[in-house]
Amino acid sequence: MMMGDDVENGNLGPYLDRPRTFPNMRSKPYTPLIFRILRGINVRVLVILLFLGFGYVFYIGISEAIRDGAEGFFKTQYGTISKMAVLLALVILSIYLFRNTTPQQESSGLGRATSACITVAAFLLGALCSGVAGYVGMWVSVRANVRVSSAARRSAREALQIAVRAGGFSALVVVGMAVIGIAILYATFYVWLGVDSPGSMKVTDLPLLLVGYGFGASFVALFAQLGGGIYTKAADVGADLVGKVEQGIPEDDPRNPAVIADLVGDNVGDCAARGADLFESIAAEIISAMILGGTMAQHCKIEDPSGFILFPLVVHSFDLVVSSIGILSIRGTRDSNVKVPLEDPMTILQKGYSVTIILAVLTFFGSTRWLLYTEQAPSAWLNFSLCGLVGIITAYVFVWITKYYTDYKHEPVRTLALSSSTGHGTNIIAGVSLGLESTAIPVLVISVSIISAFWLGHTSGLVDETGSPTGGLFGTAVATMGMLSTAAYILTMDMFGPIADNAGGIVEMSQQPESVREITDVLDAVGNTTKATTKGFAIGSAALASFLLFSAYMDEVSSFAREPFKQVDIAIPEVFIGGLLGSMLIFLFSAWACAAVGRTAQEVVKEVRRQFIERPGIMDYKEKPDYGRCVAIVASSSLREMIKPGALAIVSPIVVGFLFRVLGHYTGHPLLGAKVVAALLMFATVSGILMALFLNTAGGAWDNAKKFIETGALGGKGSESHKAAITGDTVGDPFKDTVGPSLHVLIKMLATITLVMAPVFL
């Protein structure tokens, strides 16, 4: 294609400067219809149509290569994941066919076979929806990137608007799918099982049948995050080390053989994987809150418990509305004279987030009054509203904290950039120390939010049959819902990053004017910050959701064991060992994931070096780089490397629980297996949260320290400080985009897998 040849030869000029001529029609006695139509069209409309036409030509070149690479990898990756999901579904079916039944299931006549089929169906549906959510994120991204790059030629504000609205579309679809999927599953089971009819299951027990849905979503999200993260960061590291450091060429330069693989990785790693990730977060939070709401309503003998059960679905339905308004509040301009941002893009995004938060607070208070009001405790809805407010404030504080530690407008990143002036080693030391420091404030915020929400729920006035307060755990669940009540806008900011990054790559490869690249560079730097803030937000929500799922796990064990299971004593040696194994799991998983990126990156580095040596004309635009070779290397290696750490995460809790169950059987401790798994889950959650906070923040800070130097500070591009910053960014790449995001998915998956596999431990 002409587009591809021009890019590879380096002579692709601005499309809008190319002359367009029409056939000479003067000899005709009449004016053709097409010209009469064109003359009647408004000039601005005609210009827009021409832009769309040129954008299409632009799209079928670089953008098509990115799209084809992303979609090809996605199909292969999810084909592998689907096979593993079917295998795991058979394992779950076998376990549930031979497990014990709970008293609730016996009273409702729900047999083992029916329970097994329900759980497997929910698992497969959750896996399918998670995969679709990931595909939507990737599909939109690979089509929006070229539109953003085209808009950057006209206006920074317009480019920002297109990137945000493209990300917003993906986010709304993802959140909508989570809500609709659970609602359909709930309604289907409600009608099929004849819930609340004589001799059938109670509505308060129905949410327990949905845990398979959350496990399926977690399963796909983990492998999507691992595979996509390995892909994107291995390509990025390989492209930077050889291209920037060794050859001294700019980022996303068309002469770099790994540049297409890098741009593809942004879509499969940041868009597809993050879509599946947040889908899983919302699904797990909704299901755990429904379980706790149903349990509390049952203990308090509330006449109509449906409000407490359906409350999470209503909150996230309102999320779609308020986030849409926040996204639409970001408006652009088509003024061609505006070539630089009139306002900091981060400030614009924060204004949209502020609009979303204000509306979320109003809708949350209205929802609690509508659904959580009960005559037994008339003021309980107000306490739960305040719980939601605690969650919303927690989300805002998390976004602010992460922005402070990762945005180069603030002191931590500038100090990190300054350390690059004294060498590579001092840059690494400063980055590690910044990441370690960044864990302190978020942990304090999580602690305060959990205690505050629990206390507000505890004092809501809802009591059980014995007069004991029972609203504490549900208060924490409501706080988690509050934190995720703006999830669609948060995901929008996350999707914005890779779209802007891809647009910058297209601009660089097509040799656009420097002023256009400056606009995309600013958007890319803001995108790095938004990606870091959304990861911090995801970690905070993972901590709260895991706490809820842990409580649900203890209730599940009590039901199967038919005896109380309310605390875990780590003074028991076996239980303490379970905790150690949980912490070890986090570190071993992180090591294997990081090593996977390193091994794949080494293959990319060797291939890029080989091409530069064997094809010296690449540097002078006289020879064509083999982009496809790097794409093939990264794709095959990432699919191979994701299996090992993913299998570790799935198998470990099952094996540990089963072994200690056998040990407990011979030592007279029937609940030993369940207690050891509970300790494993607790320690893994704590260790995983701290590790993920460290990795995400350190990686984001290293990236933006490099971006800060590239603005001209400390010698600018090509300086020794810049080279040291590139080293730090290279180290941080697998931290922030592979291991860190995978960890908070792992935390929630451990909680859901222990909940589903509870019968194995008894």
At which residue do the structure tokens 């000899």 appear?
27
- Dump strand ranges (E) for 75-166: none
pLDDT in tens, 522-561: 887 787 777 777 777 778 878 887 887 888 788 778 877 7
37 pLDDT tier (thresholds 50, 70, 90): low
- The mean pLDDT value of the chain amounts to 81
Question: Is the pLDDT reported for residue 68 higher than 60?
Answer: yes
**Quick check: is 35 in a domain?**
no
**Quick check: is 56 in a domain?**
no
| pTM for this model (two decimals) | 0.82
Which residues partner with 377 through β-bridges?
Answer: 374
Percent of the chain with pLDDT over 90: 18
- The answer to whether the beta carbons of residues 412 and 704 sit under 8 Å apart is no
105 pLDDT tier (thresholds 50, 70, 90): low
More confident residue, 43 or 71: 71
Helix (H, G, I), strand (E, B) or coil at 439: coil
**Quick check: is 6 in a domain?**
no
pLDDT value at position 298?
A: 83
pLDDT value at position 575?
A: 92
323 pLDDT tier (thresholds 50, 70, 90): very high
Nearest to 740 by CA among 547, 600, 541, 539: 539
pLDDT value at position 42?
A: 56
Q: How far apart are CA 677 and CA 70, in angstroms?
A: 38
Domain span at 98 = 65-331+343-760
Q: How far apart are CA 403 and CA 397, in angstroms?
A: 10
DSSP class of residue 193 equals T
Which residues partner with 469 through β-bridges?
Answer: 463
**Quick check: is 18 in a domain?**
no
What's the whole-number mean pLDDT along residues 491-512? 80
- The answer to whether the beta carbons of residues 287 and 449 sit under 8 Å apart is no
Helix (H, G, I), strand (E, B) or coil at 711: coil
Number of structural domains the chain divides into: 1
Whole-angstrom CA distances from 266 to 165, 262, 276 are 18, 7, 15
What's the whole-number mean pLDDT along residues 41-55? 48
pLDDT value at position 687?
A: 93
**Quick check: is 395 in a domain?**
yes
Question: Is the pLDDT reported for residue 23 higher than 50?
Answer: no
Can you say how many angstroms the Cα of residue 129 is from the centroid of all Cα atoms in its chain? 15
Q: In sequence order, what DSSP letters do the residues of 154-189 get, joined into one string?
A: T-HHHHHHHHHHHHHHHHHHHHHHHHHHHHHHHHHH
Question: Is the pLDDT reported for residue 455 higher than 80?
Answer: yes
Per the structure block, which two tokens stand in for 97? 């066919």
Helix (H, G, I), strand (E, B) or coil at 383: helix
**Quick check: is 54 in a domain?**
no
Percent helix, strand and coil across the chain, each rounded to 5? 80, 0, 20
Q: How far apart are CA 86 and CA 421, in angstroms?
A: 53
Helix (H, G, I), strand (E, B) or coil at 463: strand
pLDDT in tens, 657-667: 989 989 988 88
429 pLDDT tier (thresholds 50, 70, 90): very high
**Quick check: is 237 in a domain?**
yes
Q: How far apart are CA 524 and CA 498, in angstroms?
A: 8
**Quick check: is 629 in a domain?**
yes
- The answer to whether the beta carbons of residues 746 and 224 sit under 8 Å apart is no
pLDDT in tens, 562-617: 777 778 888 899 999 999 999 999 999 999 999 998 888 888 888 888 888 888 88
What's the whole-number mean pLDDT along residues 508-515? 76
